[in-house]
Chains A and B, each alone.
Chain A
Amino acid sequence: MSRNGTATAAPPVIAAPDFKKLDNDINRPLESFPTLRWNIAITITGSLATLFLFCFGYTIFTGIGSWGNNNPVGWGWAITNFVFWIGIGHAGTLISAILYLLRQRWRTAIARCAEAMTVFAVICALQFPLIHTGRPWLAWYWLLPLPNANEIWVNFRSPLLWDVFAVSTYGLVSVLFWYTGLLPDLALARDRAKNTVRKLVYGLLSLGWTGSNRAWRHYEKAYLLFAGLSTPLVLSVHSVVSFDFAVSVIPGWHTTIFPPYFVAGAIFSGFAMVATVIIILRWMFNLQHIITKDHLDVMNRITVATSLMVGYAYLIELFMAWYSGVAYERYAFMNRVMGPYAWAYWTMVSCNVFIPQLLWIRKIRRTILLMYPVVILVNVGMWFERFVIIATSLSRDFLPSSWDYFKPTWVDVGLLAGSMGLFLTLVLIFCRFLPTIAVAETKAHLPGSQPAGGHHE
């Protein structure tokens, strides 16, 4: 915001000159009947979410055999999806925590949405480690360090256990952070509510928010604390997820670059997903004046920056494989680039490194129809990145006698498509019942909300 002298000058709001209009614009989807656009969208995503539930149940009832997993490739699409969804969540936390701490005010317009997506992405991600186990009916609590009569403890040496802690902490903190930020806006929804049910529900959810000075003071403190708490999580969660691979002995997995590489990739894919969804939402709920092209421009800049990071990681992986002199490592990467999964590798490189370079061009960054294919392809590319890491490494490891090729089944496809459906359905429901944009926070940036002429920080 140029007025405040910040460098990344995306003004938070363009066409909402007064508080009343802002309240109305943001609360309209909550208070009016769903639009046709919303109905069509939820029909599609709801069907996919139903497909997810069906495939979920089918897997539980028939077994992992209904997937394409085989003997060398013990993990297939499920873990690919898990890592993919966990990665998606990173943009939300980054926007709400790190950018908050860095006082990047343009975040205000998209923070709520991105945080919500974090929560939903974690929800989607959590499904996969659970159903990918052979006996989910035991796994869900045997993986937790609960005291038990058998005196069997979990194995603290296992990265999967670290995963349990990392992801559950991340999920929990994300939900709390999101909810804390929602409180003033829930109270607003309560105050605007005209029927009793709405009043009651929003009233309960807003935890008796009065808007008093004291409440605001506590709120600001809590929000800052959560931002501080979430910041290391942005880095730690995906680092720990990457340990699932890095700690193993499998060539292609056993690399020290994984933690930073995974975090960069997660932010990259997270921003792409936020852009993918938000472009639809601003159109669906007529929020173009709040979530502006300036916002998208800034997000695209982050996307291209992180794209370069993952591109660097791809190159350094190849270099290290060659430089290490380890035959297995060299083979693993030659196999990625030229083996039976070369198509997946080159899809990944194209979508993640080559195509995002288009975002250097300002016109593409600011034209919805031009940038949209790019961000969609980044999502595709980042899914393939995880698939390439998991499937190619496992399918050809040490003993050629065991090498085999992984082919997904319809259940695998159903779970992936279904998880997209689940995610988008949750997003749509969120837009319908909760304010998509942080009203209170946005108001703080409106002209006249701060003491005139001064730097309020």
Chain B
Amino acid sequence: MTKEVSKNHRSETVGRRMALNGLPSREDTAGLPPQADLHPLSDTVDRRTIMKLMGASAVLAAGLPGCRRKPYRKIVSMADTPEYQHPGKPLYYASTWTEGRTPYGMMIKTLEGRPVKIEGLPGHPLNRGTSNAQIQGSILSLYDPDRLKAPMRGEKTITWEEADQEIMAALKSAGKTVFITRSSLGPAERALIKEFLSASPGARHLVHESFHDGPRRTAWQAIYGEAGTVQTNFAEAKVILSIDSDFLGTDGDVLKTVASFSKSRVVKTGRIDAITEPVSSRLYVAEGAMTVTGSNADHRIVIRPSFALRLVRALGSAIRGETGPLKQAAGKHGWDDKVLLALVQDLKANPGASLVVAGPHLPVAVHAAVCLLNQALGADGKTLSWNPDPHALPVDPPGTIHTALKDGVDLLLLFGVNPVYDWPAGGFDTLIQKAGLSVGHGLYHDETLNACTLALPSTHNLESWNDAHPLPGVHGICQPVIAPLFDARQEAESLLNWLRALKPRTGRPEEPDDWHDRLKKHWQTELLSNADDLEKAWDDALREGIFGQPVTVPLPEPDRKKANALSSMNPPECGDRELVILPHHAVLDGRFANNGWLLEFPDPISKLVWDNAAVIAPETAETLNLSEGDVVEVCTGMHSLVLPVLVQPGTAGGVIVTTLGHGRTRAGRVGNQKGVNCSPILGSGPFAVSPWVMGNAQLKALGKKQTLVRVQKYFSMEDRPIVLHGTAGEFKRNPHFVDLRRHLSEDSQLHDAYDYSKGPKWAMAIDLNTCTGCGVCTIACQAENNIPVVGKKECGMGREMHWIRLDRYHGGDPANPLVYNQPMLCQHCDNAPCESVCPVNATAHSHEGLNEQVYNRCVGTRYCANNCPYKVRRFNFFHYTKENLVDPVQELAYNPQVTVRSRGVMEKCTFCLQRINEQKFKYKNKGEPIPDGAIRPACVQACPAGAMVFGNLNDPNSRITKMKNSPLAYFVLEELNVRPNVSYLAKVRNPHPSLDHLEGKGGHG
């Protein structure tokens, strides 16, 4: 283990490496920053030839023309091979994801000093080794050639010294300084800002985000009497009601939520007589737009978000025994009263084990009413707890920021925000122009930085020092894993520099030198002060990435009177139609808009790529005589949006749903002019229920068409045994009900079957009960396997390259369908139809049961793809990778353990062969058998729900064997006798026993 490796030794050798390449060097000029510390998962490695390392670093150096950093130190020749680093052997570093609102733990894999893949940090209390699409995509953003590469004044590149001088001069004389940041700031950053504000009397810190949970936090603060957030524990909840909250998609600490929710969805398949409840939770979702959460619902009620308050109030009185108002409201709004009454019965029957959550875009009154409802259900203290110090700061309303800026300020500092793009009503650039000196600090030369006098490049998450406070009792650390690729500086480092203009250095030795030292000091004084050896404690914290144990803080006593008062605030009447704006599932509020992986990440519901759209219900489309792709104008009074229509079953009639994050004009080469910017309309009009829900929206067809690309176009299962499903009731009656629906083939073989018993036999199992359909597996696979982005046009031609995709099928009521999600990847069939038809033997079966594709041998007849019943093979119609390459820096993002495919060859899922071999070699060298679970393909590793399991079928005790033998296990299209190696566990919904028939026929006939 590398715990023994001294960090000094490492820094020196890294310095030497760079020195040998004839480049000016300092200990932190090379791939590895000096004080970064290895995660214990990094392997000990043996000595290998130095030449490869040098070759690799020469490539690295050639790709990094901008990585010069002063001052230079320690030019020492690399006389010894670095002991901890060997070509091809990855090193892992723990860090924290700071790009989003939730600070998940990251484990970053680096090879030869460059990060190539990010995983979730095992043991992190929020994400426990899993990750989301944005974390996966972060690696692509790091090497984005469109990043701002040097400080700029207008169009002119300047030096950091010039920029610092100008800003420090302004600071010294500034009477009024306004400082606007994003909401997610680490404790050390907050302390620095506090010091900055105290040193600069006229300074003000404001927080801006275009999507946040402001209304919810306002309600909580009023009711619970202190700032903080409510923590939910889904694992304990038997009945869950979501009021327009996509808690499995974009709302809150999703990775944590998904993990705990999924636990409650595992179907218990032990001794049949002992099982009373095969599925422990029942999810009711009342929502306006079909979301990932809604697609997992046992019962889904279609409501308009503006009616959420009525529903919650009616439910409140129904819990107290008066069902009249509920029935009345249901009748009036067309809600399914049978489902609602079943919900009331369930809620009443499960005190202390039920949970109601509401979406962040709903108004304060709804959240207050939900607090009251939760309290009435006894959720407080059971399924709910408190986080007194949430990671994200409360957001200042645009009005406050506008007031602060409208009369002009002397100095305006914009850190990591993009208000010129996402300001409601637009026009933030005029506010910037009013400032004496405006400074934008960000990753890209985006809309805002372009409007500022000075545009300063920020370092990427993976190049930065930071900390986080993910949960009560837990602190996280963010350490750089590569020196800044460009002439960028961390925002906190800048602030610390500028602070010296106000507070000159004292010269005392304990004064921190730079941001790293300050962060370290902050930790050593605030968190690690009890440790015997402060240095060691810091090193340990760095290595682990997190510090402390989560503690459960009980919910404060709610103020019922205030809650009642808040919940009685009636929202404005919304008329026939309302516009709802939600964050995009992949690019969120637009901060990831230049990331091709994320732009091409299909919407989990509509499968739309590269665009946003006005999503409407089929009935709305019919009423207005609109069809998909028709361009409409959506108007809420003051402002309007011009968007193409997307017709999505499951959307509430009278609701138009669209997303933030598109329509960027200065995102970069990938993200510019993709989709429509919906921020200008936020909160506009007199009927705004909240900034994101606006009533009285008018929809007008403009008589134009625009192409929208969905990577899946047909959503009917056509009565085929693709996703087998049933209900918990059925399962209880007959735990082997799935067998009745399987289409088994005759076990006939033309050739003798291969005997796989000598070695391992790899296989995968996917539990459709825990899979939420979020699609993170798709992006994790893309990151691991160098899968190219193909662009909207190619996607439109049906040429997307994803090796694992999320298929979605509809069942039941067409207006409010039941959704079945199914990850679909190469099934590694033992009787693979692709293998027999390849004329050149480019695809063949391995002795361990893998269907292997030999790129070098492939001539691209595409016969294999034609003959694949699952259509999971992907053809390189063009040299996509080469075409996407505009700058050599992009090449650093490729995983060197996976071949980059060229034009004209077929590719497909390999079960991450490189990962299988890595573990095989490792345990072979150790002389041990490969432990179950040691090999995890990228999709399996990323899956937040733990729905995918990979392992050895020849091991009778492995998880995969157990899952394959589950009574729910089946293979897709098994009647073809292709003998797939991916088993699926049939979807078991858990409807209320009185509504069991709603599931329909339950599978196909």
Contacts and interface: CB of A to CB of B under 8 A. Distances in A.
B606 interface: no
If over half of B's interface residues share one DSSP class (helix, strand or loop), that class is named, otherwise mixed; here it is loop
A250 B839 CA distance: 18
B877 A64 contact: yes
A63 B839 contact: no
Interface string A127-145: 0000011111011001100
Interface stretch (A69-77, A278-286, A442-450): A69-77
Interface stretch (A6-14, A97-105, A200-208, A396-404): A396-404
Contact of B720 (A69, A155, A248, A398): A398
B807 A401 contact: yes
B718 interface: yes
- A-B pairs, top 4 by smallest CB distance, nearest first, are A134-B860, A134-B904, A70-B798, A65-B877
B862 A75 contact: yes
Contacts of A138: 859
Interface stretch (B92-100, B583-591, B679-687, B866-874): B866-874
A192 B905 CA distance: 55
B867 A249 contact: yes
Contact of B715 (A75, A155, A244, A400): A400
B837 A248 contact: yes
A143 B839 contact: yes
Contacts of A197: none
Contacts of A327: 718-720
A142 B904 CA distance: 14
Contacts of B859: 133-136, 138-139, 142-143
Interface stretch (A158-166, A234-242, A269-277, A372-380): A158-166
A63 B904 contact: yes
A331 B719 CA distance: 11
B798 to A, nearest CB: 3
B294 to A, nearest CB: 19
Report which residue of B840, B866, B867 has the largest number of chain A beta carbons within 10 angstroms of its beta carbon: B866
A72 B836 contact: no
- Number of contact residues on A: which range applies? 35 or more
Contacts of A72: 798, 871
Interface in B865-892: 865-867, 869-871, 874-879
Interface string B700-717: 000000000000111111
B797 interface: yes
A70 B837 CA distance: 19
Contact of A64 (B798, B860, B973, B976): B860
B839 A154 contact: yes
Given A65-B799, A152-B841, A249-B976, A397 B794 contact: no
A249 B834 CA distance: 10
Nearest to A402: B871
A157 B833 CA distance: 11
A142 B713 CA distance: 37
A394 interface: yes
Report which residue of B713, B720, B904 has the largest number of chain A beta carbons within 10 angstroms of its beta carbon: B904
A155 B714 CA distance: 35
A247 interface: yes
Contacts of B718: 327, 331, 400
A249 B875 contact: no
B980 to A, nearest CB: 12
B905 A154 contact: no
Nearest to B859: A139
B798 A71 contact: yes
Nearest to B718: A400
A248 B833 contact: yes
A155 B841 contact: yes
Interface of A: 62-65, 68-75, 132-136, 138-139, 142-143, 152-155, 157-161, 164, 244, 247-250, 327-328, 331, 394, 397-404, 407
Nearest to B844: A155
Interface residues of B, number: 55
B878 A250 contact: no
A65 B801 CA distance: 13
Interface string B232-273: 000000000000000000000000000000000000000000
30 contacts: A63-B904, A64-B877, A65-B878, A68-B797, A69-B875, A70-B798, A71-B798, A71-B874, A72-B798, A72-B871, A74-B863, A134-B862, A134-B875, A134-B876, A138-B859, A139-B861, A143-B840, A152-B841, A158-B863, A160-B839, A247-B836, A248-B863, A249-B869, A327-B718, A394-B866, A397-B871, A398-B869, A400-B716, A400-B717, A401-B808
B824 interface: yes
A143 B17 CA distance: 47
A382 to B, nearest CB: 22
Contact of B860 (A62, A70, A135, A153): A135
A182 B822 CA distance: 64
B722 interface: yes
Nearest to A64: B877
A136 B860 CA distance: 8
B722 A399 contact: yes
A400 B869 CA distance: 11
B48 to A, nearest CB: 27
A75 B867 CA distance: 11
A133 B904 CA distance: 7
If over half of A's interface residues share one DSSP class (helix, strand or loop), that class is named, otherwise mixed; here it is loop
Contacts of A152: 840-841, 857
B800 interface: yes
B903 interface: yes
Contact of A134 (B833, B838, B903, B973): B903
A327 B841 CA distance: 32
A152 B854 CA distance: 12
Contact of B871 (A71, A75, A133, A134): A71
A71 B837 contact: no
A63 B879 contact: yes
Given A135-B905, A249-B869, A399-B824, A154 B841 contact: yes
B978 interface: yes
B978 to A, nearest CB: 7
Given A71-B800, A138-B859, A164-B839, A65 B715 contact: no
B858 interface: yes
Given A133-B904, A152-B857, A331-B718, A400 B837 contact: no
B731 interface: no
Interface in B586-641: none
Nearest to A393: B866
Nearest to A390: B866
Nearest to A140: B859
A395 to B, nearest CB: 9
A132 B824 CA distance: 27
Contacts of B867: 248-250
Nearest to B801: A71
B798 A139 contact: no
B809 interface: yes
A329 to B, nearest CB: 12
A158 B798 contact: no
B870 A64 contact: no
B871 A63 contact: no
A250 B713 CA distance: 20
A74 B839 contact: no
Contact of B866 (A142, A154, A250, A331): A250
A369 B720 CA distance: 51
Contact of B863 (A70, A73, A160, A402): A160
Nearest to B841: A155
A139 B870 CA distance: 26
B798 A398 contact: no
Nearest to A161: B839
B809 A401 contact: yes
A159 B866 CA distance: 13
B973 A398 contact: yes
B906 interface: yes
Nearest to A134: B860
Contacts of A249: 833, 867, 869, 976, 978
A71 B865 contact: yes
B797 A70 contact: yes
